[in-house]
Amino acid sequence: MDLGKKGSILKKGSSVNISKTHAGLKKLRLALMWEFKPGQDADLDASALMLGSDGKTLGEGTMAWHKNLVHCRQAVVHQGDIRSADDLDEGENMGKETIDIDLSLICEHVKEILAVITTYSEEEPVLFGRVKNAGVVLSKLKEGGATEALYNCDLSEDISNYTSMEVARFYRDEKGEWNFQPVGKGIGKSPLGFRDVLLKYNPYFKEEEEEG
Amino acid sequence: MAINLSKGDRINLSKDNPGLQKVRVGLSWDTKPGITADLDASVFLLGEDEKLIGDDGLIFYNNTTSAEGAVVHSGDNRTGAGDGDDETINIELSKVNPKVKSILVVLTSYAEQGSEKINFGRVKNATARLYDGASGKVLNEFDLSEDMSDATSMEMVKIYRNNNEWKLAAIGEKAGSSYNGLEDVLNRYSK
């Protein structure tokens, strides 16, 4: 049983102005969590995209994911990859990936930080239906590495048939204040889940063409 | 006037308060000046075997309402600030699952990963109050005056069935001193 505190419940789609509710809060940890179903495995990867005012990524270096753990002077740091249920210790079945964000270091032209989760397969698509109780917890990062959970959202509905999902976003509103919004919306169904994310958000992404 | 209870006391709720259907247990505490402590009230629904009737038999900050709605937790108070009860548990006795033999109310401390352990040495005036849930009248009060310094969990009171009557036992016993207080109690009562 998970005895960790998770903060207040936020419904999918509802936003909270964290500049207002937690004035001065800059360092955050976003944890994406799920449970593996018995006998089923899935390689889930969390990533964070930095989007400009056109809602697209700003260039090669603006994604923090397992291939590029640190973005932009430590503004966004991906804590590493739990690749599969095999990585877990005996008796555990919870998967988790975390991304740390320092809002004070986010560049001016970044209007949104979008956290996504994708599956990876070289054969049949591995759908989110293989895991259950997917959720997100937003915590305050305190001195010394301690965390304090602020908000949590259950994302398990409506995502079973996808291989990529928009988890949550941090966006600047018209006043420049940061807002947090759990999303929980599926993006695509390709075996390489991240491909659909790139197609949607990265204007520089070109699919490799078949040889011959 | 509220009847004060001492550790080890047992009272017959049904006899003392005929017709009592709803009760509320309020837990309050004060921290010593300059100190914060995140304490939590939790409820363990135990069966005949004195064990949790299931995972959902634990009513706490991550699961605030029992399956049949008999037990409702007021929600998490992370600082204990303010007067009056800091966390409350509402119980509707008539709705309690027949499998449940006793309702154990515990007080535990919580430390976030990376923070230092919080023990009851940081706390004073830990009190459990029993109210008539319908009228709001305080029926009993149980002050833990004993020093529980190194504990991180305490069994406060137990409301239990006996011959179709509901009774209450004032316990006030330390349960453990692990980093996360609730864990020791969970280990004791899990099947």
**Structure confidence by residue, pLDDT tens digits, A146-166:** 888 999 999 988 899 999 999
In angstroms, the CA A20 to CA A27 distance is 15
Q: What is the 3-class SS of chain B, one letter each residue?
A: CCEEECCCCEEEHHHHCCCCCEEEEEEEEEECCCCCCCEEEEEEEECCCCCECCHHHEEECCECECCCCCEEECCCCCCCCCCCCCEEEEEEHHHCCCCCCEEEEEEEECCCCCCCCCCHHHEEEEEEEEEECCCCCEEEEEECCCCCCCCCEEEEEEEEEECCEEEEEEEEEEEECCCCHHHHHHHHHCC
Compare A97 and A59 and report the one with higher pLDDT.
A97
Q: What is the dihedral of CA A146, A34, A126, A180, to 10 degrees?
A: -60
Model pLDDT for residues B8-54, shown as the tens digit of each residue: 999 999 999 999 999 999 999 888 888 878 899 999 999 999 999 99
d(C-alpha A195, C-alpha A188), whole Å: 9
Chain A: give the shortest CA distance to residue B9, in Å.
Answer: 31
Interface membership of B191 toward A (CB under 8 Å): no
Q: Is A3–B114 a contact, with Cβ atoms under 8 angstroms apart?
A: no
Work out the average pLDDT over A52-76.
63
Question: Mean per-residue pLDDT for B84-110?
Answer: 94
Tokens representing A168 are 């949550």
Tally C-beta pairs within 8 A across A and B.
33
Statement: A8-201 belongs to CATH 2.30.30.100: no
Residue A103 DSSP SS3: helix
**Containing domain of residue B90, as a range?**
3-189
From A63-67, B71-75, B168-172, the region with the lowest mean pLDDT: A63-67
The torsion defined by the Cα of A141, A142, A143 and A144, in degrees rounded to 10, comes to -70
CATH of the domain at B118: 2.60.60.30
**Complex ipTM, two decimals?**
0.81
Per-domain residue ranges of chain A: 8-201
Of A3, A6, A146, the CB nearest to B183: A3
- Overall average pLDDT of the A72-85 stretch: 60
pTM for this prediction: 0.78
> Min CA distance, A203 vs chain B (Å)?
40
> Could you give the dihedral angle defined by the CA atoms of residues A21, A23, A25 and A26, in that order, rounded to the nearest 10 degrees?
120
Count: domains in chain B: 1
- Average confidence (pLDDT) over B71-90: 87
- For the stretch B144-168, pLDDT in tens is 767 778 899 999 999 999 988 999 9
Answer yes or no: is pLDDT of B77 > 80. yes
